[in-house]
């Protein structure tokens, strides 16, 4: 029996960790069943009936609880009916659970940029990541960069860490119907041509430098910042308001983007700009490549690992380099086309089916290992 914390698959507005949990379980469940494993999913509220309806053999355990769901209610369920191995794709192993377990650690960005987190969140992230790393029989890291951080910053033994790359949403494909793109742009009040950033608005994403670099680029393109504001978004918004009006008026804030609109938004952009300071994986890079859009991203953390040779890499601390990179992508159409073609090849390396195959191996290994 494989027990899985599926609570992150039912959140309203899906970001990277929620997407990871959802797509991974959709690929893992049929594979586990085909290998004659039973699967039990734990939810902190009743899931939509269609979410895992394709797998009637899977046991769904709905155990709502107002606070401390993981460490009280989920822990109690695991003690009463322990699985052979427990997996948490985007959360934490219950404090009182000592059975065989596997946990995914997405990134250790809080080590590198602690100022980008509220202090309560920072304390919890430090504790929960170290707890997962030490309590789990096997630890799944999204990238080699995250594995090295786990070893160097949290002292997790290298031989218990499995690097398993996530996949990319298979629904993300180039949108070639101009009427579809036009409708999405109208919905978000975007006038082409435009350059796109698509993720949460928060300091770690290096948006102040991106805005300054865009302002210096002297281009006719709009800069679209698509994503919901995160903690400490105010300095980002103030950077925009402090620009001269002709430039500030060309910056579009869309708020949260519906999943159904992402492919069209990505496909319509001249380029995607993602010079993030730190990423455990960097889904927006692959999402842009999947939709046939050239990408500018950073030389740091996992981003070169994920982007391969299919993105323009810049030093994220060098605003002038970001400006030059933006101008290169806009003015050099042949280079842009080259990056797009390389991007299509790069995306092929990241498959949720392959992620699930490797994860199932880790789960089976954890179930066999002695503590």
Mean pLDDT of 202-210: 93
247 and 161, same structural domain?
A: no
Judge whether 104 and 89 are in contact, CB under 8 Å.
yes
Same domain as 198, residue 134? no
Residues forming a β-bridge with 59: 40
Q: Are residues 305 and 333 in the same domain?
A: yes
On whether both 139 and 52 belong to a single domain, the answer is yes
Tell me the CATH number at 88. 3.40.50.2000
Q: Do residues 145 and 281 share a domain?
A: no
Residue 285 within a domain: yes
Judgement on whether residues 64 and 111 belong to the same structural domain of the protein: yes
Q: Are residues 106 and 139 in the same domain?
A: yes
Please indicate, yes or no, whether residues 329 and 357 belong to a single structural domain of this protein: no
The tally of domains found in the chain comes to 2
- Contact in structure between 138 and 102 (CB atoms under 8 Å): yes
The length of the chain, given as a count of residues: 371
- Within-domain flag for 173: no
Is the pLDDT at 12 greater than 80, yes or no? Answer: no
Res. 371 pLDDT band, cuts 50 70 90: low
The 8-class DSSP code of residue 52 comes to T
Cα separations (Å) of 73 from 68, 94, 270? 8, 9, 48
Does residue 78 lie within any of the structural domains?
A: yes
User: Does residue 160 share a domain with residue 51?
Assistant: yes
Q: How far is CA 361 from CA 164, 227, 309, 318, 365, in A?
A: 11, 35, 29, 42, 6
Reference 104, options 370, 366, 369; nearest CA is 366
What is residue 48's DSSP assignment?
Answer: P
Within a domain: residue 116? yes
* Rounded alpha-carbon distances, angstroms, from residue 6 to 23, 43, 132, 360: 11, 6, 17, 16
pTM recorded for the entire structure:
0.90
Does residue 273 fall inside a structural domain?
yes
Q: Which residues contact 178 (CB under 8 A, 6 or more apart)?
A: none
Position 119 confidence tier, pLDDT thresholds 50, 70, 90 = confident
Question: Regarding beta strands 138-141 and 161-163, do their DSSP bridges make them parallel or antiparallel, or are they unpaired?
Answer: parallel
> Is residue 116 predicted with pLDDT exceeding 80?
no
249: CB partners within 8 A, 6+ apart: none
Tens digit of each residue's pLDDT (9 = 90 or more) over 46-92? 888 788 888 899 999 999 888 889 999 999 999 999 999 999 998 89
Do 104 and 197 belong together in one domain? no
Whole-number pLDDT of residue 347: 97
Q: How far apart are CA 336 and CA 270, in angstroms?
A: 9
Shared-domain flag, residues 72 and 195? no
Query: Looking at the predicted structure, is the pLDDT value of residue 15 above 80?
Result: no
In a domain? residue 172: no
Would 18 be classed as within a structural domain?
yes
Give the Å distances, CA to CA, from 321 to 21, 49, 198, 281, 285.
35, 49, 20, 22, 19
Q: At CA 36, angle to CA 35 and CA 42, rounded to 5?
A: 100
Q: DSSP string of 278-308? A: --SS-HHHHHHHHTT-EEEEESSTTHHHHHT
Domain that includes residue 140, residue range: 2-167+351-368
Residue 233 lies in a domain: yes
Q: What is the pLDDT of residues 317-360, one digit of tens each?
A: 999 999 999 999 999 999 999 999 999 999 999 999 999 999 99
Residues 320 and 187 in one domain: yes
Alpha helices in the chain (DSSP H): 16-34, 75-80, 109-112, 119-135, 144-154, 178-187, 207-217, 234-241, 245-248, 262-268, 283-290, 303-307, 319-331, 333-347, 352-368
Q: Who wins on pLDDT, 162 or 18?
A: 162
């Amino acid at each position: 029996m494989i027990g899985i914390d599926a609570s992150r698959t039912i959140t309203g507005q899906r970001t990277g960790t929620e997407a990871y949990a959802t797509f991974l379980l959709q690929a893992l469940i049929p594979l586990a069943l085909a290998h004659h494993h039973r699967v039990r999913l734990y939810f902190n509220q009743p899931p939509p009936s269609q979410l895992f309806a394709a797998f009637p053999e899977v046991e769904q355990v709905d155990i709502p609880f107002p606070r401390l769901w993981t460490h009280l209610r989920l822990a109690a369920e695991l003690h009463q009916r322990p699985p052979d191995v427990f997996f948490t794709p985007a959360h934490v192993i219950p404090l009182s659970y000592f059975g065989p377990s596997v946990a995914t650690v997405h990134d250790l960005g809080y080590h590198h940029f602690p100022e980008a987190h509220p202090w309560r969140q920072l304390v919890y992230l430090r504790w929960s990541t170290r707890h997962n790393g030490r309590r789990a029989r096997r630890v799944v890291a999204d990238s080699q960069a995250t594995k090295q951080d786990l070893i160097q910053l949290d002292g997790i033994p290298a031989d218990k860490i499995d690097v398993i790359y996530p996949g990319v949403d298979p629904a993300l494909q180039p949108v070639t119907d101009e009427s579809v793109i036009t409708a999405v742009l109208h919905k978000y009040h975007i006038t082409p041509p435009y350059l796109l950033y698509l993720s949460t608005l928060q300091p770690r994403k290096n948006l102040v430098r991106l805005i300054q670099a865009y302002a210096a680029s002297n281009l006719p393109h709009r800069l679209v910042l698509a994503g919901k504001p995160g903690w400490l978004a105010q300095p980002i918004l103030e950077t925009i308001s402090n620009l001269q009006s002709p430039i500030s008026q060309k910056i579009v804030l869309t708020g949260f983007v519906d999943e159904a609109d992402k492919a069209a938004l990505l496909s319509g952009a001249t380029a995607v700009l993602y010079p993030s300071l730190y990423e455990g994986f960097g889904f927006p890079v692959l999402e842009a490549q999947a939709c046939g859009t050239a990408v500018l991203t950073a030389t740091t953390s996992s981003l070169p690992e994920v982007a391969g040779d299919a993105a323009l890499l810049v030093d994220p601390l060098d605003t002038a380099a970001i400006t030059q990179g933006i101008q290169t992508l806009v003015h050099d159409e042949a280079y842009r086309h080259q990056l797009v073609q390389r991007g299509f090849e790069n995306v092929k390396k990241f498959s949720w089916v392959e992620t699930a195959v490797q994860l199932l191996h880790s789960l089976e290994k954890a179930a066999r290992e002695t503590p």
